[in-house]
Structure 1
Amino acid sequence: MNYIVLDLEWNQCPDGKENENKKLPFEIIEIGAVKLDSNFHKISEFSELIKPCVYGEIHYKTKEVIQLNMEELNSAKTFTQVCQSFLKWCGQDYIFATWGSMDLTELQRNMKYYGLKYEFNYPLKYYDIQKVFSLFFEEAKAKRTLEYAVVYLNIKREYDFHKAIYDAYYAGKILSLIDSDFLQNNESIDYYKPPQSREDEIFIQYKRYSKYVSKAFASKEEAMSDKEVTSMKCHCCNRNLKRKIRWFSINSKIHYALGYCEEHGYMKCKIRMKKNDEDKYFVIKTIKAVNEEEGLLIRTKREDLRLKRRLKRKNKKEHPSEFNI
């Protein structure tokens, strides 16, 4: 299997978010990619600029980052032409690798906008090199910049950053320095096309945790009333967990719970709410083994949240005028 190390550059509405095309907030203007074999040796590369059709000017923030102008872009091929060439260049047996989690989502969103049909693998697994870099080299979850990682690993700086093909080149160099087994145990899933039905739902058992991706629901409340969504099973043996702390929300998107397995100990359960393109909600649930101290942190988080809510209710009762607009 080959690795397609992909990097995209995109533009956004120059007149502000309120005037953007809601179906295409980010318009891809450059595709760069490096194809590596299973031993991380370079096979070939792909690099093309794209003529913008939605936003006729470059946003000032985009100008600060990339070294492109409208004259160059207007003489380029269209997205449809470039994307078709890119997908053909990818071949058959490959897995994507990107710096961060946005590139594949925006690629598919642009493809949908222009009516391009292509069947990616389902679920669409890929390697988030940014995430894996932090986990492997720093044992942390910090989101480092590509330039930071290049300096950290003493990779020779041969090109400027923020040109798609050069960023893909550097990302490929970083990828080649990560242990293959570690990489395989830390793959990511792209959520642009979440499950459409119960039968399509995703269950994956990793070495360190398990992941479940649900079908879409009309509301967050409907999602949290679903038995499969709120079920708690040990990621090691798949047995039902004893509920030590029931599901509680820290905001409108994230819920936590704590379970206990007689054989494998405490399990931290986390739910993230996501919205799809149809404005429906789906759930990403992860369950991970933790020690007693980490389990206590979840309990503390819940108690702190309860205290804050009690104080807010008390203040509202004592000073109602401050809460009336």
Structure 2
Amino acid sequence: MTMNYIVMDLEWNQSYNGHMGEHPRMPFEIIEIGAVKVDKNLNIIDEYSSLIKPKIYKKLHSKIRTILNYDENDLNLGRGFKEVCSEFLEWCGDNYIFCTWGPMDLTELQTNMDFYYMDKLPRPLKFLNLQSIYASITNQSGSPQTMSKLEKAVSEMNIPENEPFHTALNDARYTALVMKEMKVKNINQLYSFDLYIAPKDKAEEIEEFHNNQYEYISRIFKNKQVALDDKKVTEIKCFKCNKKVKTYIDWFSNSPSSYMCVGKCWMHGCFCGKIKFKTSNNSYYIQKTIKPIDKAGIEAIKQKQEDIREKRKEKRHMKSSGSSIK
């Protein structure tokens, strides 16, 4: 069965009165779904578009009003979210992968679906984060990736801007055009995993090799230390042959929510391991990736580790100096 790409864009509204009027189960209410269906040659073959009549936030937030090309009168002619979303998912078909500009659209789609107690999307949920893919192919400096807005990518790709931005269907069209213009080989291997729902047990844990990397998403742990005590979390395997290897640079904390290390396989060279802690209902799960790394990358990690050590020494010194003064 042929797989299609569903390039999706959403528009949503929020409380006009800020957090004071925010619904705890749905901070952002979807008011428009737009999408294009793209074939294996990255050509647009079908379109979907529908406005949604809001139930929670019936007045447009002032900032949102300034960017949209419609108002409350238009939204009042829309249909309910549940009807539109069900129709949209049926339109997607049976074999597809979502493509979005950033991860937020999938998060808000599922938040709104949960609000109406709709069936959850199948897990594990893969998608193409085209914003991240675009950043990776346009970043030639080796510095940390910066995420571009869709308008900037369209301009940089010299794509004609024939329609206004910030309508869901138009933005979906533009996103699909950027996707095609990037000319990325095997783009379907560059998928990410949606982390809206964490694996609840070992059976649901995710462990895959794709895009020249190893990725592991764990079950939920009650705290960070319990996670770090789990061998599966901290073990290091070669990103290609999956054999356990010793670390070249041991795991160290480079931020309050992440750890990194360097390993070396005698056959496939060096690689960087990263652990990121994610929160879920006051508990934690981890996302671990293992990717190849060059000599310059190893030196950068060594320098980062040394900088962190020096900062900790300085803090301890300042603390002990303060205690002696007292």
TM-score normalised by the chain length of structure 2: 0.92
Structure 2 gap ranges (5+)? none
1:14-60 Cα offsets, whole Å, 9 max, x none, are 22236532321221111100112222232221111112222233223
Residue of structure 1 in register with 2:113 after alignment: 111
Paired residue secondary structure (2:9)? strand
Residues 15, 27 of structure 2: 8 Å contact kept: yes
1:111-146 Cα offsets, whole Å, 9 max, x none, are 0111111442x2111111112222234457321111
Residues 110, 120 of structure 2: 8 Å contact kept: no
The alpha carbon displacement at 1:198 in A equals: 0.8
Structure 1 gap ranges (5+)? none
Identify if the C-alpha distance between structure 1 residues 256 and 174 changes in structure 2 by more than 3 Å, giving closer, same or farther: same
Residue of structure 1 in register with 2:35 after alignment: 33
Residue of structure 1 in register with 2:130 after alignment: 129
Residue of structure 1 in register with 2:286 after alignment: 283
Residue of structure 2 in register with 1:97 after alignment: 99
Task: Tell me the distance in 2 between the aligned counterparts of 1:297 and 1:138.
Answer: 17
- Aligned pair 1:295/2:298, yes or no? yes
Paired residue secondary structure (1:176)? helix
Counterparts of 1:245-284 in structure 2, within 5 Å, are 245-276=249-280, 278-284=281-287
Paired residue secondary structure (1:136)? helix
1:260-288 Cα offsets, whole Å, 9 max, x none, are 21222221110111123x33211110111
Task: Tell me the distance in 2 between the aligned counterparts of 1:86 and 1:109.
Answer: 16
* Residue 232 (structure 2) aligned to one of 223, 228, 232: 228
Residue of structure 1 in register with 2:201 after alignment: 197
The alpha carbon displacement at 1:204 in A equals: 1.3
* Residue 59 (structure 2) aligned to one of 18, 41, 57: 57
- Aligned pair 1:47/2:46, yes or no? no
Paired residue secondary structure (1:234)? coil
- Aligned pair 1:213/2:217, yes or no? yes
Residue of structure 1 in register with 2:307 after alignment: 304
Paired residue secondary structure (2:247)? strand
Percent identity (aligned):
39
* Residue 149 (structure 2) aligned to one of 145, 163, 167: 145
Matched letter for residue 245 of structure 2: L
Identify if the C-alpha distance between structure 1 residues 20 and 222 changes in structure 2 by more than 3 Å, giving closer, same or farther: farther
Residue of structure 1 in register with 2:160 after alignment: 156
Task: Tell me the distance in 1 between the aligned counterparts of 2:81 and 2:211.
Answer: 39
The alpha carbon displacement at 1:87 in A equals: 0.9
Residue of structure 1 in register with 2:69 after alignment: 67
Task: Tell me the distance in 2 between the aligned counterparts of 1:219 and 1:173.
Answer: 43
User: Comparing 153-162 with 129-138, which one deviates more in the overlay?
Assistant: 129-138
Matched letter for residue 20 of structure 1: E
Identify if the C-alpha distance between structure 1 residues 51 and 291 changes in structure 2 by more than 3 Å, giving closer, same or farther: same
Task: Tell me the distance in 2 between the aligned counterparts of 1:206 and 1:43.
Answer: 27
The alpha carbon displacement at 1:251 in A equals: 2.1
* Residue 6 (structure 1) aligned to one of 1, 4, 8: 8
Task: Tell me the distance in 1 between the aligned counterparts of 2:76 and 2:198.
Answer: 34
Task: Tell me the distance in 1 between the aligned counterparts of 2:298 and 2:19.
Answer: 41
The alpha carbon displacement at 1:95 in A equals: 1.2
Residues 129, 192 of structure 2: 8 Å contact kept: yes
Paired residue secondary structure (1:272)? strand
User: Comparing 178-187 with 71-80, which one deviates more in the overlay?
Assistant: 178-187
Paired residue secondary structure (1:250)? strand
Task: Tell me the distance in 2 between the aligned counterparts of 1:232 and 1:18.
Answer: 46
TM-score normalised by the chain length of structure 1: 0.92
Matched letter for residue 35 of structure 1: K
The alpha carbon displacement at 1:7 in A equals: 0.1
Paired residue secondary structure (2:147)? coil
Matched letter for residue 195 of structure 1: P
Identify if the C-alpha distance between structure 1 residues 318 and 44 changes in structure 2 by more than 3 Å, giving closer, same or farther: same
